Chains A and B, each alone.
Chain A
Amino acid sequence: MEEKNIYQPHLMEIIKIIVETGDTKTFHIQFLDEKLRENFHYLAGQFGEYSVFGEGEATFCISSSPTRRGHLEFSVKKVGRVTQALHQLNEGDLIGFRGPYGNFFPLEKFKGKNLLFIGGGIGLAPLRSLINNVVDTRADYRDITILYGARTPQDLCFKYDLEAWSKDPSLQLVTTVDVGDKDWKGKVGLVPIVLEELQPSPQNAVAITCGPPIMIRYTLRALDKLGFAPDQVWTTLEMKMKCGLGKCGRCNIGPLYVCQDGPVFSLDEIQKFISDEF
């Protein structure tokens, strides 16, 4: 019988910490094991279990693009025990990492299509893995539009990405905030409303959305109004997880385990869920 302990994390060193907003940080981490650094592969949309030893494990997506190798990035909003402990850490500190787990965005299906990304707040984290992935393989896709919203300009995450995307002539970036300030040059309004104003065409397009549950709910309605069919709409779902391996029994939606069958689902699949418990 194989002796591998599936709950044992790999040790990773925090090599960089970026303060995104007042309560959100992005961590750049690197495997201590050099062989793993070379051999670790994942796909956009997958997640990991990150641990602060002594405080526990928590689930976050890998927010860096698989095309940008060398280290992993993940972003954490300070809300609970593990996330607060993560926020206390410094560059050079060690954390545990298990993964990659779960499914991923079906990039093969997105090839040759217009891509519409709709993100809200920290929900940009899984999308940014995918966005930077398609930016690095730009020729495979047609028009790319990114709509990103946050409560206030200070709550926008990944400002360095936003800046890079805004300078990229092959991308259209629209940012919006619920409440602007005197320096704000983007749009003001909730993401689903701005989305309707943008009037993106569903023709040969896919929409990929992630954000707070309430934003996702209204965004899905807006996309429906715009003529996007359920199989053109993709999202990644958040559920409480402990093992990430389909065993601990809490992330299920009906018979599906978000950790194994997800976290990436098409709206088409979601509409067939027996349960609305997500």
Chain B
Amino acid sequence: MFFKINQGKFKEWLLALKNQGEVYIPTKENNLWVYALLERQEWPAYFLNTRIPVKNLFFPNRQALLSWKYEPGSMGMNSFVPEGKKRLIVGLRPCDSRSLQLLKPVFAGEYADIFYLKNLDRTILIGLACSQICPGSFCREMQVDPQDSADNDIFLRATPEGFVAKVITERGKGLLAQGFFAEAGENDWAAAAQEMPGRDALFDLEIVKANLNSFFAQEEFWQKVSAKCLNCGICTYLCPTCHCFDICDLRTPEKGVRFRCYDSCAFPNFTKMAVHNPRAEKWRRYRQRVSHKFNFFFQNFQAIACVGCGRCVNFCPVNLDLREILTAIH
């Protein structure tokens, strides 16, 4: 089901969405793109993707889990209830929308993490087709289509006049039935597709997948490719699918909060125990990162934990390029 809207109406629609819940749109803050609460800012004329992935709004770097307070002779404990307020994020890129769905099985299952799952449940995702390939990205190799996405409630394609919208879910459909949109057809949708600049695929994901097990034991390969890594962890902090976390306590003498925060497999103390550290060497940690995303995650959840957004490539301080490693494995 397709609809279309012109630019003027689109801005009105965004404001009307505020009656539904908190609306987040791509916004430039401190010279960086983020998803910010819609207040007075304009819909951006041009943006590639946010620096920090949208996962941050679902799995924040600091999530309070519980608090406690000592009282004379006893102790009170208070579990933080995740927020239930409805929100809408407009302008998600297909890679980031995919990452939110990829993380779902990690947080679901026998031990359901309500913090993530509720955030996913309470958020309506309105994706936006890309107009350019981001620096460092390899989304198409990762089978993420920059022009289409089923991981949203509504998916938009920009046109010179406005947008063409594709309805994906029932709750998405509810948002378009408000008088702002006109009905559109398959042909409008197809006409709104933008030609993405071409380049030959760097690797075939299926071949990378097939080769990873045999590459795992090649210590020299991992030593070579990880040699310049600084263990700074920026690739994991900016990765839309990295989900490793630490649980920490913050306290004053009589009360405190237990929270979780991001942690990184790049850090030497990530696996450090009293007696030994199974990933004390850098090449083991880098191998873990690549193997977790492209091999172990697939074995556990039948999906690759990478969407090819290119943040790890683009923002690595030493230009360690994951694409080169995947191409070498290919």
Could you tell me the dominant secondary structure of chain A's interface residues? loop
Say if the beta carbon of B85 comes within 8 Å of chain A. Answer: no
Quick check: B270 and A240 within 8 Å, CB to CB? yes
Quick check: A249 and B256 within 8 Å, CB to CB? no
Quick check: B112 and A56 within 8 Å, CB to CB? no
Say if the beta carbon of A274 comes within 8 Å of chain B. Answer: yes
Quick check: B66 and A1 within 8 Å, CB to CB? no
Quick check: A5 and B247 within 8 Å, CB to CB? no
What does the 1/0 interface line of A212-240 toward B look like (CB < 8 Å)?
A: 11000000000000000000000000111
A residues in contact with B113, CB < 8 Å:
6, 245, 247
CB distance from B221 to the nearest CB of A (A): 15
- The 8 Å CB contact of A239, one of B109, B273, B292, B296, is B273
Smallest Cβ-Cβ distance to B67: which chain A residue: A53
- The 8 Å CB contact of A5, one of B66, B75, B106, B121, is B66
B residues in contact with A4, CB < 8 Å:
112, 114
B residues in contact with A250, CB < 8 Å:
244, 263, 265, 270-271
Q: How far is the CA of A144 from the CA of B200 in the complex (A)?
A: 66
Could you tell me the dominant secondary structure of chain B's interface residues? mixed
A-B contact pairs, 14 of them (CB 8 A): A1-B118, A6-B114, A7-B65, A9-B77, A11-B77, A53-B68, A83-B274, A240-B272, A242-B245, A245-B111, A255-B295, A274-B216, A277-B278, A277-B288
Quick check: B274 and A1 within 8 Å, CB to CB? no
B residues in contact with A253, CB < 8 Å:
278
- The 8 Å CB contact of B75, one of A1, A8, A11, is A11
Say if the beta carbon of B190 comes within 8 Å of chain A. Answer: no
Say if the beta carbon of B300 comes within 8 Å of chain A. Answer: yes
Say if the beta carbon of A106 comes within 8 Å of chain B. Answer: no
Say if the beta carbon of B18 comes within 8 Å of chain A. Answer: no
Quick check: A249 and B247 within 8 Å, CB to CB? no
A residues in contact with B109, CB < 8 Å:
246
B residues in contact with A55, CB < 8 Å:
249
Q: How far is the CA of A51 from the CA of B79 in the complex (A)?
A: 15
A residues in contact with B273, CB < 8 Å:
238-240
B residues in contact with A125, CB < 8 Å:
none
Say if the beta carbon of A80 comes within 8 Å of chain B. Answer: yes
A residues in contact with B9, CB < 8 Å:
none
CB distance from A86 to the nearest CB of B (A): 13
Excluding A54-B251, A239-B278, A240-B273, 14 further A-B contacts by CB distance (< 8 Å) are: A1-B121, A2-B114, A7-B258, A56-B249, A80-B274, A83-B274, A240-B270, A246-B111, A248-B244, A252-B288, A252-B292, A255-B300, A274-B213, A277-B278
A residues in contact with B272, CB < 8 Å:
240
Q: Lowest 4 A-B CB distances belong to which pairs?
A: A249-B244, A54-B251, A255-B296, A79-B274
Check A7/B75 contact, CB under 8 A, given A245-B111, A255-B299, A277-B278: no
Smallest Cβ-Cβ distance to B253: which chain A residue: A54
Say if the beta carbon of B279 comes within 8 Å of chain A. Answer: yes
Q: How far is the CA of A254 from the CA of B66 in the complex (A)?
A: 32
What does the 1/0 interface line of A239-278 toward B look like (CB < 8 Å)?
A: 1101101111111111100000000000000000011011
Q: How far is the CA of A51 from the CA of B66 in the complex (A)?
A: 13
Q: How far is the CA of A244 from the CA of B274 in the complex (A)?
A: 17
Check A247/B271 contact, CB under 8 A, given A4-B114, A8-B66, A254-B296: no
Quick check: A5 and B263 within 8 Å, CB to CB? no
What does the 1/0 interface line of B67-87 toward A look like (CB < 8 Å)?
A: 010000001010111000000
Q: How far is the CA of A7 from the CA of B107 in the complex (A)?
A: 12
- The 8 Å CB contact of A248, one of B216, B246, B249, B276, is B246
A residues in contact with B75, CB < 8 Å:
11, 53, 94
A residues in contact with B256, CB < 8 Å:
53-54
Say if the beta carbon of B140 comes within 8 Å of chain A. Answer: no
Say if the beta carbon of A73 comes within 8 Å of chain B. Answer: no
Say if the beta carbon of B243 comes within 8 Å of chain A. Answer: yes
Say if the beta carbon of B157 comes within 8 Å of chain A. Answer: no
B residues in contact with A254, CB < 8 Å:
216, 291, 296
